[in-house]
């Protein structure tokens, strides 16, 4: 899996602007047991560099994309991160090993429950999870050094931009929910100015409840 990620970094290096990810990110990718996060019927493919179904019409993301989005956040050991779209909990586990605290929100209660008990069982103990719509973020614990959205949004949710710390980074796929999207990096500088960069075409499942905000 690690070699596959490294190869894909080479293929995409002009788009992502680098030819290697942070070694800390790669070391966490190689030490995290992805087999614990995929359904039993897909165990054979657990370490392939591809997405897999996790039930309820959702997917565990492709390892290269997990590594890319994590790398884009430029996490430090004292950072607090918000994740929208817990899904299997795999991305959550990766983040939790690179920062101080991860808050994660999942829309589908059954997936949220499975991920919560899985992460606890595996001993990732700096994660707090919530079931609900992540569109509005989690204001109680804001501001965040990093925010990651792992479902396709039609636009950048303003509440998430507001919950970023100055110097913070938001990584989010934006575009048509049932086709391809562009992975965006939203940076808030020290003065609160927002800078947005488009990184790469990606395909994510849709962010639910964007209009209702409930
Ligand atoms: N990072 C996860 C990706 C799961 S797919 C993994 O690798 O396993 C995206 C997830 O986002 C799905 O579980 C979906 O239910 C969830 N989701 C969709 N809309 C959401 C919303 N508004 N708030 C929180 N989670 C949402």
Answer yes or no: is pLDDT of 214 > 60. no
Please report the atom of ligand 1 found closest to the CA of residue 210: 22
Give the tens place of pLDDT for each residue, 101-132: 999 999 999 999 999 999 999 999 999 999 99
Distances (CA, A) of 162 to 110, 144, 169, 197, 211: 29, 10, 11, 18, 18
User: Does the beta carbon of 207 lie inside 6 Å of ligand 1?
Assistant: yes
Please report the atom of ligand 1 found closest to the CA of residue 66: 7
Residue found under tokens 């001993």: 123
Q: Which pLDDT value is given to residue 210?
A: 86
Q: Which pLDDT value is given to residue 114?
A: 97
Give the tens place of pLDDT for each residue, 157-191: 999 999 999 999 999 999 987 789 999 999 999 99
Report residue 62 as tokens.
């492709």
Active site residue 41: no
> From the candidates 61, 88, 96, 129, which is the catalytic residue?
61
Taking the complete model, does pTM exceed 0.75, yes or no?
yes
Give the residue from 91, 95, 83, 87 showing the smallest Cα distance to 114: 87
Report residue 121 as tokens.
């069982």
Please report the atom of ligand 1 found closest to the CA of residue 208: 19
Measured in angstroms, how far is the CA atom of residue 171 from the centroid of ligand 1?
Answer: 14
Give the residue from 129, 153, 125 showing the smallest Cα distance to 209: 153
Give the contacts of 211 (CB within 8 A, at least 6 positions apart).
none
CA distance 203 to 27: 25
Work out the mean pLDDT of the chain and round it to a whole number. Answer: 96
Helices and strands, number each (H, E), in the chain: 7, 9
* Nearest CA, atom 2, ligand 1: 87
């Amino acid at each position: 899996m690690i070699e596959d990620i490294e190869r894909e970094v080479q293929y995409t290096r002009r788009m992502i602007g680098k030819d290697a990810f942070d070694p800390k990110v790669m070391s966490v990718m190689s030490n995290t047991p992805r087999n614990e996060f995929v359904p039993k019927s897909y165990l054979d493919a657990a370490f392939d560099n591809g997405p897999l179904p996790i039930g309820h019409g959702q997917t565990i993301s492709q390892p290269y994309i997990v590594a890319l989005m994590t790398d884009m956040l430029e996490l430090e050991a004292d950072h607090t991160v918000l994740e929208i779209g817990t899904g299997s909990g795999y991305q959550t586990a990766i983040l939790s090993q690179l920062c101080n605290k991860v808050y994660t929100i999942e829309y589908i209660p059954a997936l949220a429950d499975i991920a919560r008990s899985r992460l606890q069982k595996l001993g990732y103990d700096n994660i707090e999870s919530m079931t609900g719509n992540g569109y509005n973020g989690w204001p109680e614990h804001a501001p965040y050094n990093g925010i990651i959205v792992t479902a396709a949004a039609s636009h950048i949710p303003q509440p998430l931009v507001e919950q970023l710390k100055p110097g913070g980074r938001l990584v989010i796929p934006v575009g048509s929910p049932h086709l391809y999207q562009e992975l965006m990096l939203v940076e808030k500088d020290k003065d609160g100015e927002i800078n947005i960069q488009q990184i790469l075409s990606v395909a994510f499942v849709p962010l639910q409840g964007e209009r209702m905000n409930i």
